[in-house]
Amino acid sequence: MDGFPILSLMMAVPMAGAIACLYAGANTARWIALLATLVDLALGVLLWANFDQSGSAAQWQFQEYAPIFGRFAWALGIDGIALVLIMLTVFLMPICIGASWEAIQKRVGEYMAAFLFMEVLMIGVFTAQDIYLFYVMFEAGLIPMYLIIGIWGGADRIYASYKFFLYTLLGSVLMLIAMMWMVHEAGTTDIPTLMAYNFDPHVQIWLFLAFFASFAVKMPMWPVHTWLPDAHVQAPTAGSVILAGVLLKMGGYGFIRFSLPMFPEASAQLAWLVWGLSMVAVVYTSLVALVQTDMKKLIAYSSVAHMAIVTVGLFAFNQAGIEGAMMVMLGHGLVSGALFLCVGVIYDRLHTREISRYGGLSINMPKYAVLFLLFTMASVGLPGTSNFVGEFLALMGIYQASSWVALVCTTGIILGAAYMLYLYRRIAYGEQKNADAAAMPDLSMREMWLLAPIAAAVLWMGIYPESFLAPMRSDIRALEARIASAAPVGDSRIKMGPAVPKAEAHHGEDHSAMSHEKASGEAH
Partner 1 sequence: MIDSASLLAVLPELVLTAGGLVLLLTAAFGGDGTARVVNWLSVLTLLVAGLMLPVSMEHGPLAFDGLVRADAFSIFAKALIYASAGAAILLAPRYFAAGGAVRPEYPVLILFSSVGMGMMVSAGDLLTLYVGLEMQSLAAYVLASFMRQDERSSEAGLKYFVLGSLASGILLYGTALLYGFTGSTSFDGIAVALGDGVGKGELFGMVFLLAGLAFKMSAVPFHMWTPDVYEGAPTPVTTFFGSAPKVAAMALTVRVAIEALGPAGLDWQQIVIFVALASIIFGAVAAIGQTNIKRLMAYSSINNVGFALIGLAAATPAGVAATMSYMAIYVVMTIGAFACILQMRDAQGRPVESIASLAGLSQSRKGLAAALGIFMFSMAGIPPLFGFWAKFLVFDAAVAAGLTALAAFGIAASVIGAFYYLKIIKTMYFDEPATAYEARGGAVENVILTACAVVIVVGYLLNPVLDQASAAAAASLF
Give residues in contact with partner 1 (CB under 8 A). 68-71, 107, 110, 132, 135-137, 139-140, 142-143, 146-147, 150-151, 157-158, 161-162, 165-166, 169-170, 173-174, 176-177, 180-181, 184
The C-alpha atoms of residue 53 and residue 50 are separated, in whole angstroms, by 9
Least Å distance between CB 278 and partner 1?
26
State the nearest-atom distance from the C-beta of 234 to partner 1, in Å: 11
Identify which of 154, 105, 94 has the alpha carbon closest to the alpha carbon of residue 343.
154
Helix/strand/coil for 487: coil
CB under 8 Å to 322, separation ≥6 — which residues? 256, 313, 314, 316, 397, 476, 479, 480
Nearer to partner 1, 66 or 523 (CB): 66
Least Å from the CB of residue 133 to partner 1? 10
Q: Where are the alpha helices (DSSP H) in 198-247?
A: 201-218, 227-234, 237-242
**Residue nearer to partner 1 on the CB measure, 42 or 180:** 180
CB of 47 to partner 1, least distance (A): 23
Residue 258 to residue 182: CA distance in whole angstroms: 11
> Between residues 70 and 497, which has the closer beta carbon with respect to partner 1?
70
CB of 162 to partner 1, least distance (A): 7
Residue type, 426: R
Other Cβ atoms within 10 Å of 92 Cβ, number: 29
User: Rounded to the nearest whole angstrom, what is the least distance from the CB of residue 243 to partner 1 in the complex?
Assistant: 18
Please report, for residues 255, 282, 448, 489, the alpha-carbon distance to residue 212 in angstroms, rounded to integers and kept in the order given: 8, 19, 40, 22
Q: Residue 132 CB, nearest distance to partner 1 (Å)? A: 8
Q: How far apart are CA 148 and CA 38, in angstroms?
A: 21
- Cis before residue 220, ω within 30 degrees of 0? yes
Give me the least distance between CB of 471 and partner 1, in Å please.
29
Whole-angstrom distance, CA of residue 109 vs CA of residue 429: 39
Burial class (CB in 10 A: 0-12, 13-18, 19+), 143: middle
Q: How far is the CB of 106 from partner 1 (least distance, A)?
A: 9
Note whether 309 and 395 are within 8 A (CB).
yes
Judged by beta carbon, residue 60 or residue 69, the one nearer partner 1 is 69
CB of residue 224 to partner 1, shortest distance in Å: 14
- Cβ-contact 24, 109 below 8 angstroms: yes
Q: Which is nearer to partner 1, 130 or 265 (CB)?
A: 130
- Taking Cα atoms as reference points, which of 310, 282, 503 lies closest to residue 404? 282
What are the residues whose beta carbons fall under 8 Å from the beta carbon of 437, sequence distance 6 or more? 346, 350, 357, 358, 359, 360, 361
Angle between helices 80-99 and 108-127 in degrees, nearest 10: 170
State the Cα–Cα distance between residues 450 and 42, nearest whole angstrom. 17
| Nearer residue to partner 1 within complex by CB, 180 or 414 | 180
Q: How far is the CB of 373 from partner 1 (least distance, A)?
A: 37
Question: Which of 130/480 has CB closer to partner 1?
Answer: 130
Orientation of helix 6-23 relative to helix 108-127, angle to 10°: 160
Pick 175 or 343: Cβ nearer partner 1: 175
Q: How far is CA 47 from CA 41, 95, 239, 438, 500, in A?
A: 10, 20, 26, 45, 41
User: What's the rounded Cα separation, in Å, for the pair 311 and 285?
Assistant: 15
CA angle 368, 106, 37 (to 5 degrees): 60
C-beta of 151 vs 186, nearer to partner 1: 151
DSSP 238-281: HHHHHIIIIIHHHHHHHIIIIIHHH-HHHHHHTHHHHHHHHHHH
Of 68 and 496, the one with the shorter C-beta distance to partner 1 is 68
Which C-beta is closer to partner 1: that of 46 or that of 169? 169
Least distance (Å) between residue 169 CB and partner 1: 5
**160 or 355: whose CB is closer to partner 1?**
160
Residue 32 CB, nearest approach to partner 1 (Å): 18
In the complex with partner 1, the residue whose CB is nearer, 174 or 363, is 174
Query: Are residues 362 and 346 in contact, defined by beta-carbon separation less than 8 angstroms?
Result: no
Neighbouring residues of 515: CB distance < 8 A, sequence distance ≥ 6 = 383, 388, 392
Which residue number, 214 or 402, has a Cβ lying nearer to partner 1?
Answer: 214
Smallest distance, Å, CB 286 to partner 1? 31
